[in-house]
Structure 1
Amino acid sequence: MFTVIELSASSTQGIANQTKAITGPGFAIETGGMSLEVSGRPRLLDGMDSVEFDPARFITLFAQTGIAAFDHLDGQFAIALFDGTSRTAYLARDPFGTVPLYRARTRTLLAYAVSMADLLQLEGVARDYDGSAIAYFLREGWAPPFTSFLKTVRPVRPGYLEIVTPEAHKIHRLHPRPGDYPLPVQASSPGVLLSRIRKAVRDSGPTSGLRIGVTLSGGIDSAAITALLREAYPGERLDTFTVGYGPDDPEIRGARATAAHFGTSHHELFVGPSDVRDHVEETVAILGNPGGYDELPCLSALWSLAARHVDVLYSGNVSDAIFAGMSTHRRLWRQRTVERYLRPLGIKQAVDQGVHHKAQPGSEPCSVVGHDNASGGFRHWLGHTSTLFDALKSDLDTWDERTGAQTLLARHHGIELRAPFAHKQLIEFALQMRDADKVNMLGVKRLFRRSLRSIVPASIRYRRKGIQHLRYDAEMQTVVLELLEHYLPARTLRSRGLLDPSSADRIKADVRSGLTPTNFRYAWNAILFEIWCRTFIDSVGAPAGRADPLAVAGG
């Protein structure tokens, strides 16, 4: 999907016949003055159930009910509807942004695309840097929600409808609306949860005639997907794929045990620092909006392998967010639990910082020249929520681009990435779960684990969660230092005028003294940002500007 719209009311330009092929599942139609483009596999909610998406039915529903039609969408989707009569564009994404969609606005034009890289190549898009977004990225590894490095290019908000007219830009929260849900007090049923997960897997898309597989980690989420696919399609080939740093990687060992239990055709890919180095430029060029530390180059390499064997990959993405499986959920639960005991004693506990990652004292990220390096007002929910329920509501209101980035990388390699846990019926269920059903003294995702009792053995359900990353050893230290010297020489930084050369020198000295998770993250983020600048901003080596749109929707 890549479209440029002339918003001027005086425009008489018609709809062009040339369109860019939509990568991955999707389609585009034009009827009755409406232009509809769909990327992903949306479904239409029909009472308590959902049905396959019918574009004609959706346009009819929109004509009858207006923007309420977008509340009927479910599944994984990015949708753009342009009404040529009112010259209004309607842009919408699923609640966790599993399918990317970016927009760029000039005085008279609106452009939107599934890849930010396409918009960065469009002539007329101003290079107006967002210092707050860059500063946040350099610390956390992702631009804050709804932002990018440029003020003129933004992702469409996950879970929202954005309405763009020649005069205004409005946003409208789509169902499920977190603010409509009261604090849960009743226990949830593990049996009901399992039935909903089964349905989400079934509704994720057709499998007939397709080679299917699972991106398998050592955790419970992808194991659940594997179990349900094996249950639904007994006797059929099911491939699983895992990436890690070697045979002793906990993720490799855990995934291998899961694959053996369910009898899948299992594939393992071992990657090292040099492999990540070789994939990093390609990864940034594909995404246009980089992030993810060393994880995304590793996944890109894995999906290059998977493309030889499957057409569709299922993923456990989003499960951690809705069922409280992250380390940050455990940190919040521990903080609030301890606080309950300390408050009666008059002891005030230090509040956890409003950042996703704990930082090593003494290490600092690269700084942006002329900027105070604040987050621009965005804080992770750790700094301001008191319940896991509030944490989920915050995630639904401020989700970033990490899931959409994975979808885009997979599509680059010709693979459709499916995320059943992103379906609304599971999000609604999670919004009605008590905190006690999510985290307790025994661990995270308590109800979710119990719901899988009949299909996943305890040895897998309660296996310790691993974190997918490479080893921060001497070999990685050498590669990081090589990349720092190559991409962040002081003369380049001074010439560009964005990153403070002295802060880059401090990171180099910090890494030389010993590689840690914190200084690796800061170094890697700065390297990614510089690669992005060289790829999309510099006149030398930058992609050629696109003077003509690949599709123009008009009156």
Structure 2
Amino acid sequence: MCGIAGWIGRRVEKPQDRAAGMSNALQHRGPDAEGIELLDLNTGEDQLALVHRRLAIIDLNADSNQPMQTEDGRLRIIFNGEIYNYIELREELIGLGHRFRTRSDTEVLLRAYDQWRLAMFDRLSGMFAFALWDAQRRELILARDPFGKKPLYLMQGRNLLSFASEISALLSAQPDGQQLDLDGVREYLTWRYVPGPRTLFKQIRKLNPGSYAVWSQGEVTETRYYAPPDQTDLTADIDPGTAKRRFLELLDRSVEIRMRSDAPFGAFLSGGLDSSAIVALMTRHSDNPIRTFSVGFSEQAYSELPFARRVADHFKTDHCEIVIQADDLMNHLPKMVRHRGHLFHKVRTFQFT
């Protein structure tokens, strides 16, 4: 989990202070490194700010800190997430003549855009939100992964577009953006969440999953590059046995490719079918015990810890249990809402992304 933020458009007052405020608001997302870059555009009339807080997962070296740019400075990027197939893409790009100076998936994104431009989305497998500046085309591309696992919020005002991984970073830069959207409140009370692109704030919207937005000469256009194939019958000509084997192969490969990391990692384990299956498959691809984490309640009737413990014992994981008391929710509620960016209707759905 990293954090990105910034803006593009008319020059703002005290830009360094503004960028530092956005960075501080995202510090919890990326304690390993901070990067701030301010660029003057159009002979100083416009400005681009790129802010990054890094949680180092792949290629822990400082060479992979962000913002990252190509050697000629033509492309710059800040990136939150992980490109699962970055190794395969890197090999393909090397075959096409690209040279790499890091082992990071961030640089793979830069080179992929250089090679395929916006067609690169068809090749990416991962969870991501990023901002990429193309100095030659004078365009800023803001993008979000197909299912919206990584958040990206936009605040568009007169001659200025701001963006961030969390609403709190946008509000730190523009406190006047705290105007409540009553339609958003009504939707929350109806559906127990606020459907995108709306948020609880009038001036702030979500970039839709599977979409990218392009800023060019002060204009912003948004394009959807992915839609789930939910109306396609993929099993019409497949017998049940073949479908089962294919599903297990895909699930196993999906788990394996997500374990690519240069930092320690683990799994949330509830004891339910999905998390238990993932932990089971993780043990296939690790020579060391998998680290598992479970959250439960002191009230035994509501706690899933016993179920998770049985799975952890079966697969001999390095298991950690966290017990939440009744007062913990109320004591931490303001902080949880600030990081989440909106209300949530039950504790078990809260997660950092």
TM-score by length of structure 2 reads 0.72
Q: How does 1:180-329 map to 2 (within 5 A)?
A: 182-184=232-234, 185-187=236-238, 189-207=243-261, 210-236=263-289, 238-249=291-302, 251-295=304-348
Alpha carbons 1:246, 1:271 under 8 Å: kept: no
Alpha carbons 1:103, 1:112 under 8 Å: kept: yes
Residue in 2 that maps onto 1:163: 214
Return the alpha-carbon distance in structure 2 between the equivalents of residues 56 and 295 of structure 1. 35
Alpha carbons 1:100, 1:407 under 8 Å: kept: no
C-alpha displacement at 1:167, in angstroms?
4.7
Return the alpha-carbon distance in structure 2 between the equivalents of residues 70 and 100 of structure 1. 17
Q: Higher relative contact order at CA 8 Å, sep ≥6: structure 1 or structure 2?
A: 1
Residue in 2 that maps onto 1:117: 168
Residue in 2 that maps onto 1:28: 67
Alpha carbons 2:151, 2:165 under 8 Å: kept: yes
Q: How does 1:329-344 map to 2 (within 5 A)?
A: none
1:275 and 1:141, CA in 2 relative to 1: closer, same or farther beyond 3 A?
same
Q: Which of 3, 6, 21 matches 1:3?
A: 6
Q: Secondary structure at the match of 2:54?
A: coil
Return the alpha-carbon distance in structure 2 between the equivalents of residues 217 and 50 of structure 1. 38
C-alpha displacement at 1:120, in angstroms?
1.3
Q: Secondary structure at the match of 1:189?
A: helix
* Structure 1: gaps spanning 5 or more residues: 300-405, 409-555
The Cα RMSD (Å) is 3.2
Residue in 2 that maps onto 1:70: 121
C-alpha displacement at 1:78, in angstroms?
0.9
* Structure 2: gaps spanning 5 or more residues: 12-40, 58-64, 94-102
Residue in 2 that maps onto 1:129: 180
Return the alpha-carbon distance in structure 2 between the equivalents of residues 50 and 239 of structure 1. 34
Alpha carbons 2:67, 2:76 under 8 Å: kept: yes
Alpha carbons 2:9, 2:47 under 8 Å: kept: no
C-alpha displacement at 1:54, in angstroms?
4.5
Alpha carbons 1:102, 1:114 under 8 Å: kept: yes
Residue in 2 that maps onto 1:12: 44
C-alpha displacement at 1:280, in angstroms?
0.7
Residue in 2 that maps onto 1:97: 148
| Identity across matched positions, percent | 24
C-alpha displacement at 1:283, in angstroms?
0.5
Alpha carbons 2:130, 2:143 under 8 Å: kept: yes
Q: Secondary structure at the match of 1:121?
A: helix
Residue in 2 that maps onto 1:40: 81
C-alpha displacement at 1:117, in angstroms?
0.7
Query: Residue 28 of structure 1 aligns to which amino acid in structure 2?
Result: P
Return the alpha-carbon distance in structure 2 between the equivalents of residues 145 and 284 of structure 1. 17
Query: Residue 227 of structure 1 aligns to which amino acid in structure 2?
Result: A
Return the alpha-carbon distance in structure 2 between the equivalents of residues 17 and 102 of structure 1. 15
Hey, which of these two has a bigger chunk of helix by percent? 1
- The number of aligned residues is 297
Hey, which of these two has a bigger chunk of strand by percent? 2
Return the alpha-carbon distance in structure 2 between the equivalents of residues 11 and 156 of structure 1. 30
Q: How does 1:483-498 map to 2 (within 5 A)?
A: none
Return the alpha-carbon distance in structure 1 between the equivalents of residues 330 and 49 of structure 2. 41
C-alpha displacement at 1:39, in angstroms?
0.7
2:193 is the alignment partner of 1:142 = yes
Q: Secondary structure at the match of 2:247?
A: helix
Query: Residue 106 of structure 1 aligns to which amino acid in structure 2?
Result: G
Return the alpha-carbon distance in structure 1 between the equivalents of residues 50 and 118 of structure 2. 28
TM-score by length of structure 1 reads 0.48
Deviations 1:307-337 (A, max 9, x none): xxxxxxxxxxxxxxxxxxxxxxxxxxxxxxx
